Amino acid sequence: MKKQPDILSPTAKKLRIRAEKRLKAKQQSTGRTRPTTDTQRLVQELQIHQIELELQNAELQQARNEAEKTLEKFTELYDFAPVGYFSIDPQGLIQEVNLMGAALFGAVRSLLLQRRLQAFVAPASRPIVAAFLKATFAKPGKQTCEVLLLTTTDKPFWADLQASSTAAPGGNIKWCRLAISDISALKRGQEAMRSVESLAAAVLEANKEIARRRAAEGLLKESEQTQRVMLIEAQVLQEQLRSLTHQILQAQEDERKQISRQLHDEIAQILTGINVHLSALTETALIKPRELRKRIEKTSQLVTQSIEIVHRFACNLRPTLLDDLGLIPALRSFVKELAERKELPIQFTAIPDVEELDISQRTVFYRVAQEALTNVVRHAQAKSATVRISKVVDAIRLEIQDDGKSFPAERILAAKKGGRLGLLGMRERVEMVGGRFTIESAPGAGTTVTVEIPFA
């Protein structure tokens, strides 16, 4: 018998070698000899082939057992996976589903087959699922979306959908593998997280509001304290105003007494003398016509004296020079008259810019200088005085300085009661026109009154 050409595959060669070794071992155990005839060789070849078939059958059985075990394992993995697996055709019909998928929809697996997936989608999510399946079958790659699904009891739950399309083996029929995961807990967690964040934001805003209210409360307390202080200051100022008003009224009354006394003692006496002289003139004109001229001259002198007294009263009340010619001529006239009357050397210098102030400010300068120089004459026992009007930055300054004795100016100005009306009046006049009033008095240095009034 001719030997067959060697066309076996490597696997078949290995199988034949194993069969020949098994047959040889069997022949040796039975004591048989090697075949010598063609018939014996054919029998041996058949025996080898039989052994090959037995070996193949054993391997196939083993492979089948292993495949069944693998299939069982993967079936368990497929059915009991924590994710619902579905096979969906292009029409959206369910072709396959695992146990978890059936459990998600709350139905028996067999009742889900050939049903449309859209039947288990909430109405609000159906357009999303339709677009999702269309994209899955239209292009390769994984598609994902989050939608609201329904169970057989219409109980909704949030699900995460992931799918990719594929083709059936040996054909062009497409289908897709769809994985559905219940993410309701995740959604609740996200919602809880949003609630916590919202609550945290509300707490933060509440803390800010508390801080604002505490700040407002602090400001309110400070305002209350400030109001108490202002109330106390207002009461003090009211008391000072009451005292000042009383002093003003008393000063007005004293001034009226003085004017009345001067009118009675000077003007009335002069007018009485004029009347007497006029009566005497009548008699003299009849008896002694030559003495008429002398008596008329004496009467004229009395009239002139009364006119000067009235003029002095008028100047003290309101100098006409201040309105007609300005502050500098009015002050120069007052200083000159006072210096001559009281025999006190007073130096006066002024700049023309002072006339640019309005009439109320110039009046304040005049009254302060008048009051200050009057105080110098009455109280300071000074040997000389100086009145100086100069210009500073954006303001006009008036200084009245003397070399007389000092006095506690600050204590008198700060006193609630008993303060000198002249000093308080000067300060009030200056502050009424927006100016600044200061007074300095020191032993051996005399007293300096300073007034600064800004330009309008």
Dist CA 303 CA 282 (whole Å):
18
**CA–CA distance, 229 with 293 (Å, rounded to integer):** 75
Q: How confident is the model at residue 1 (pLDDT cuts 50, 70, 90)?
A: very low
Question: What digits encode the pLDDT tens for the residues 305-357?
Answer: 777 776 666 666 666 778 888 899 999 998 998 999 889 999 999 999 999 88
The predicted-structure confidence for 128-181, as pLDDT tens digits, reads as follows 999 999 998 888 888 999 999 998 887 889 999 999 887 665 556 678 889 999
Whole-angstrom Cα distance, residue 144 to residue 125? 14
Residue 427 has pLDDT above 80, yes or no: yes
User: Strand ranges (DSSP E) for 114-155?
Assistant: 143-150
Distance CA 319, CA 321 (A): 5
In this model, does residue 251 exceed pLDDT 60? yes
Residue 262 has pLDDT above 60, yes or no: yes
Q: For residues 20 and 15, what is the distance between their CA atoms, to the nearest angstrom?
A: 9
How far apart are the C-alpha atoms of 27 and 423, rounded to whole Å? 152
In whole angstroms, what is the distance from residue 260 CA to residue 253 CA?
10
User: Which one, of 309, 312, 291, lies nearest residue 301 by Cα?
Assistant: 309
Indicate the range of 154-158, 229-233, 286-290 predicted with least confidence: 286-290
Answer whether residue 386 shows pLDDT above 90. yes
The answer to whether the beta carbons of residues 155 and 177 sit under 8 Å apart is: no
Give the whole-angstrom CA distance, residue 402 versus residue 442: 11
- Residue 426 above 50 pLDDT? yes
d(CA 341, CA 37): 182
- Residue 7: pLDDT above 70? no
* CA gap 98, 87 in Å, rounded: 9
Using the predicted structure, report yes or no on whether residue 2 has a pLDDT greater than 50: no
Q: Could you tell me the pTM of the whole model?
A: 0.42
Decide: 404 and 381 in contact? Cβ < 8 Å.
yes
